[in-house]
Structure formats: structure tokens, C-alpha cells
Amino acid sequence: MLTPGNGSILSLLRGPWSLLTGAIALAVLNWLTLILSGQPWRVTWGFAMWAAQLASWLGWNSTANPFWSSDANQTVLSRGIFADVSSIMNLGIVLGAVLAAALAGRLVAKGKLTGSVVLNTLVGGLIMGYGAFLAYGCNVSAFFGGIASTSVHGWVWIVCALAGTWVGLRVRSHSQSN
């Protein structure tokens, strides 16, 4: 019988995974990404590209922006989101997470969806995204790639990420008590 915990495929879907299993899975995925795409695993780039393409569609002139005006970035914007490896991986991550949660029976709404929850989520996401872009990546590129390449910036990133998490948890608990 396929039940969680007996080494079955279902237990892989339902979890929980050990820290070692998760670390090995991330290392293998990072290696496969580099081998298959010729570039390191990067999540933030795909989201930044989506935002730039949406802004361009809404009338923003990307050639007036110092970052997006480079020939390489203009080429990326002209090709679309389905021509970029990072973008496709982001779609796969989001859809895969939704599918995994649904298969595990955990795709349920939790809590009350209020205006302040939506606003806090949007502002928090924008701040995290902006910070990740400034740091040349999120936890995957800035930390995982940085540590793997023996760069000091990965260690600086994790210290700042932990401090930011601590502050964010304090702000969240304060806003929920009001």
C-alpha cells in the first residue's frame, strides 16, 4: 500500500523531506540546471524579466533604463518569457508547487483574506524582489550560488537575510496583534 513514510513515491510527494535529502535535491537540481542550460540556477532574473515585459507592454520604454537598455537585455525582452530558461523554470516551480500541494491534499486557503493581508503581502513581495535583484539573486543565486563558488557575498547575504527575517517576523507579529 502506498502510504507516506514507507519509502513509496507517495511519501516523496507528501514529505516531509529530511534536511539532507532537500540539500542533495537542491545540489543536483543546481548541477543539472548548469549542465542543461549553460547558466547557473537563477530565479529572480525570470521574475524581473516578467515585470520588465509587463511594464513595456503597459508603455514603459525599457531603452531609457540603464540596466534594461543593454543589447543583451533588449534581446531577452524582445524574445519573450517562453524563450528564457529562468522564466520557464519559474513557471515550472510555481506550477509544480501548486501540483505538489494539490497531490498532497494541502492546497487549501488558510486564514482570512483581508485588504491589509493583501497589501502586506504585495509590499513584502516587492521589497523582497527588489532586494533580491540588488543582491544579484535570491537565496538560490545569491546564497546557494555564492557559497558554491566560494564568494564572500553568499555569506554576507545569509547574515542579512536572517536579520531581515527576524525584523519581518517582529513586524508581522505586531501587525497581526493590532
Cβ 52 vs Cβ 68: under 8 Å: yes
Q: Answer whether residue 3 is part of any domain.
A: no
Centroid of chain to Cα 68: 21
Domain extent, residue 32, equals 8-108
Residues 37, 31: Cα–Cα separation, whole Å: 10
Same domain, 99 and 114: no
pLDDT of residue 13: 62
pLDDT of residue 69: 92
Residues 77, 56: Cα–Cα separation, whole Å: 9
Same domain, 38 and 124: no
pLDDT of residue 34: 79
Residues 60, 154: Cα–Cα separation, whole Å: 33
Cβ 116 vs Cβ 175: under 8 Å: yes
Residue 111 in grid coordinates: 486564514
Residues 176, 178: Cα–Cα separation, whole Å: 5
Q: Which residue has the cell 537598455?
A: 69
Same domain, 150 and 98: no
The list of the chain residues with pLDDT below 50 reads: 1-4
Last residue of a domain, one of 108, 134, 155: 108
pLDDT of residue 126: 86
pLDDT of residue 11: 66
Same domain, 124 and 92: no
pLDDT of residue 151: 81
Last residue of a domain, one of 108, 133, 154: 108
Same domain, 120 and 103: no
pLDDT of residue 163: 94
Same domain, 24 and 68: yes
Same domain, 20 and 101: yes
* Number of residues that make up the chain: 178
Please give the single-letter amino acid code of residue 86.
Answer: S
Same domain, 117 and 77: no
Query: Could you give the 3-state DSSP secondary structure of residue 99?
Result: helix
Q: How many structural domains comprise the chain?
A: 2
